[in-house]
Structure 1
Amino acid sequence: MLFNNHLVNIKMKYVRNTIIIILLSLFALATIFPIYFMLISSFGDPVEAGAMSYSLIPTKISLDSYKFFFDYSIYSFRWLTNSLIVATSIMISNVFFASLAGYAFSKIQFKGKTFLFGLLLCAMMIPYQVTQVPLYILIVNVFNMQNTYSALILPGLVTVYNIFLAKQFMTTIPKEIIESAKIEGCNQFQIYIRMILPLSKTVMAVMAILTFMDSWNTFFWPFLVTNTMDMQTIQVGLKNFRFANTTYFAPMMAGATISALPMFILFFSLQRYFLEGVTVGAVKG
């Protein structure tokens, strides 16, 4: 009887594990498929344009679409450069300012700290789209920054989400470390540079990856504030391959593939810190 019950439990466990594996495999395929389709489509013939066959298995491999992407427009390299400048600047500024604010909110006592942090959390609840019109009026009409790097970078210098992320992580850093640094004669900025930053590599890696990906993939805001092709980012520049009567599909996919490479490089270079940052606080003790 006990043997039969044990056998039934083993079979149930096997069936449950099989179902989980199948579901996870389907989810992984659904996630990877757009990347696969983008990649194989980029090797298509650029002359097919809007008549692309959308084949899931490439009939031939050609790099003509990549050549077409760079030859079609003299601004292709400029688009990539603009995206790199904007995304890198926003990433660095967010990591610095958000970690600095996170340290202040988590370890420094000052009047109105709770109210100010609550105000930031309320601001985080406001949808991004709601702020676009007043932000556009402020950047374009008030400060006259349209079609400049300042217009692309300044609105994203620091985000409330990154401040919240840094604050929550730095709260877990023991106060004894900071007190010891104060005894040694360090001021607040020295404590931040010498003690807090080295202990916050994981959360900084998470902020860097997420911020770079968000800035690199942003389409709407660069589309609003740029009016010449030389100031467009790669995501906005790709729309130039679509016309009223046809679309250069394969070259567009080639450009999308090229634009995805920096994100893969950044993620895999910081993967170890990113995975550590995701699991912080998941296990006690």
Structure 2
Amino acid sequence: MADFTVSQAEAERLQLQKAIWSARLTRLLWWLAVLAVFVGSLLSLMPIYWMITGSFKIQHDAIAYPPELFPTHPTLQNWEKLLVGMPTLRWLLNSFIAASGVALLGVITSTLAGYAFGKKRFPGQNLLFWLLLLTMMLPKQISLIPLFIMMRDLKWFDTYFALIIPYAAYPFGIFLVKQFMQGIPNDLLDAAKIDGASEFGVFWHVVLPLTKPAVGALAIFAFMFGWNDYIWQLVVTNKQTMLTLPVGVSKLVAGWATIDIGVGMAGATLAFIPMLVIFLLFQDYFVKGITVGAVKG
């Protein structure tokens, strides 16, 4: 009986020791995960830090090797060159108008088309949807020449129409909204129709409010796309007053023999601020739209 009691006590002691080591290992892994996330966050923020500090460096310090982590001779001459004597604020306004137009039209067309693909049935639906997905896989450069010819024939060069209209239809947005709307129960739509709602009433009062997370994420994506669409903006704008911020800064930075890195960093910082503000304002919709929309359908 005594041997059995000793054996049982030894087993309990070993089990307790095993639990203690397991808890210590779990805590160690947790701290390692926190450390990895912290290091990864620092590495992700490093380009932003480098961009902001670079906007306050003179050209010599900006290209110094080894590179300076903090400006030893901080200066505002890069910002002065960017903001004084150049229509930079006009470029900023042009970028905002173009990006807002792309986002607005993209949201309108994507929600309507996503509703049709997600909640309706019509002949050739699957074929049209696969063709839509195919356009997402094609390189953007393929459409540059056809769109250029269209803008030339329409005489839309150096206009906001050329910056906005070619991207009124946003294939990724249609795909995102369609996947999200497939998760909306059809019983809600049927109940609204029984109560006398029209087709547009069902879309406006029932479907659209339930799709706000996806619409928020879509608006952010479309705005970022319109803001950063450098190649197309470079092709269709020539007048200095119609340049967007990325195009205007690139022409201001690049010279015949050298590139003014400090001014480029200042311009990149100025272009980054609106993106940061938009994301902070709509981050809840963005995260919810991505996480929920990714598992629907």
Q: Deviations over 1:177-219 (max 9, x none)?
A: 1111111222211211111111111000000111111211121
Alpha-carbon distance between aligned partners in 2 of 1:50 and 1:207, rounded to the nearest angstrom? 42
The counterpart of 2:82, out of the listed 69, 73, 85, is 69
The counterpart of 1:101, out of the listed 113, 119, 124, is 113
Alpha-carbon distance between aligned partners in 1 of 2:174 and 2:143, rounded to the nearest angstrom? 19
- Provide the residue aligned with 2:156 in structure 1: 145
In 1, are the aligned partners of 2:214 and 2:293 still within 8 Å (CA)?
A: no
Matching of residue 158 in structure 1 with residue 158 in structure 2: no
The counterpart of 1:87, out of the listed 99, 108, 113, is 99
The one-letter amino acid paired with 2:219 is: A
The counterpart of 1:265, out of the listed 253, 259, 277, is 277
RMSD: 2.2
Instruction: Give matches, 1:11-160, under 5 Å.
Output: 11-44=24-57, 48-49=58-59, 52=62, 53=64, 54-59=67-72, 61-73=74-86, 75-140=87-152, 142-160=153-171
In 2, are the aligned partners of 1:120 and 1:160 still within 8 Å (CA)?
A: yes
TM superposition shift of 1:25: 2.1
Against the structure 1 CA distance between its residues 187 and 227, is the aligned structure 2 distance closer, same or farther, given a 3 Å change threshold? same
TM superposition shift of 1:51: 5.6
The one-letter amino acid paired with 1:71 is: V
Alpha-carbon distance between aligned partners in 2 of 1:72 and 1:100, rounded to the nearest angstrom? 44
Alpha-carbon distance between aligned partners in 1 of 2:294 and 2:167, rounded to the nearest angstrom? 30
Query: Does 49-58 or 19-28 show the bigger shift?
Result: 49-58
Against the structure 1 CA distance between its residues 21 and 123, is the aligned structure 2 distance closer, same or farther, given a 3 Å change threshold? same
Alpha-carbon distance between aligned partners in 1 of 2:227 and 2:209, rounded to the nearest angstrom? 27
Q: Deviations over 1:136-166 (max 9, x none)?
A: 23333x3332222111111111211100100
Matching of residue 183 in structure 1 with residue 190 in structure 2: no
- Provide the residue aligned with 2:185 in structure 1: 174
Query: Does 210-219 or 127-136 show the bigger shift?
Result: 127-136
The one-letter amino acid paired with 2:263 is: P
TM superposition shift of 1:280: 1.1
Query: Does 175-184 or 52-61 show the bigger shift?
Result: 52-61
Alpha-carbon distance between aligned partners in 2 of 1:65 and 1:135, rounded to the nearest angstrom? 36
Alpha-carbon distance between aligned partners in 1 of 2:149 and 2:120, rounded to the nearest angstrom? 36
- Provide the residue aligned with 2:225 in structure 1: 214
TM-score norm. by structure 2 comes to 0.86
Alpha-carbon distance between aligned partners in 2 of 1:162 and 1:281, rounded to the nearest angstrom? 11
Alpha-carbon distance between aligned partners in 1 of 2:242 and 2:253, rounded to the nearest angstrom? 17
SS at match of 1:280: helix
In 2, are the aligned partners of 1:50 and 1:247 still within 8 Å (CA)?
A: no
Q: How many residues align?
A: 279
In 1, are the aligned partners of 2:115 and 2:178 still within 8 Å (CA)?
A: yes
Instruction: Give matches, 1:223-242, under 5 Å.
Output: 223-239=234-250, 240-242=252-254
Query: Does 55-64 or 263-272 show the bigger shift?
Result: 55-64
Q: Deviations over 1:39-65 (max 9, x none)?
A: 112233xxx346634521133555443
In 1, are the aligned partners of 2:61 and 2:71 still within 8 Å (CA)?
A: no
% identity of equivalent residues: 35
Q: Which runs of 5+ in 1 are unaligned?
A: none
Greater CA radius of gyration, 1 or 2?
Answer: 2
Alpha-carbon distance between aligned partners in 1 of 2:150 and 2:225, rounded to the nearest angstrom? 22
Against the structure 1 CA distance between its residues 156 and 146, is the aligned structure 2 distance closer, same or farther, given a 3 Å change threshold? same
Query: Does 239-248 or 6-15 show the bigger shift?
Result: 6-15
Against the structure 1 CA distance between its residues 98 and 183, is the aligned structure 2 distance closer, same or farther, given a 3 Å change threshold? same
In 2, are the aligned partners of 1:49 and 1:246 still within 8 Å (CA)?
A: no
Query: Does 223-232 or 82-91 show the bigger shift?
Result: 223-232
Alpha-carbon distance between aligned partners in 2 of 1:87 and 1:50, rounded to the nearest angstrom? 35
Alpha-carbon distance between aligned partners in 2 of 1:49 and 1:56, rounded to the nearest angstrom? 15
Alpha-carbon distance between aligned partners in 1 of 2:120 and 2:91, rounded to the nearest angstrom? 42
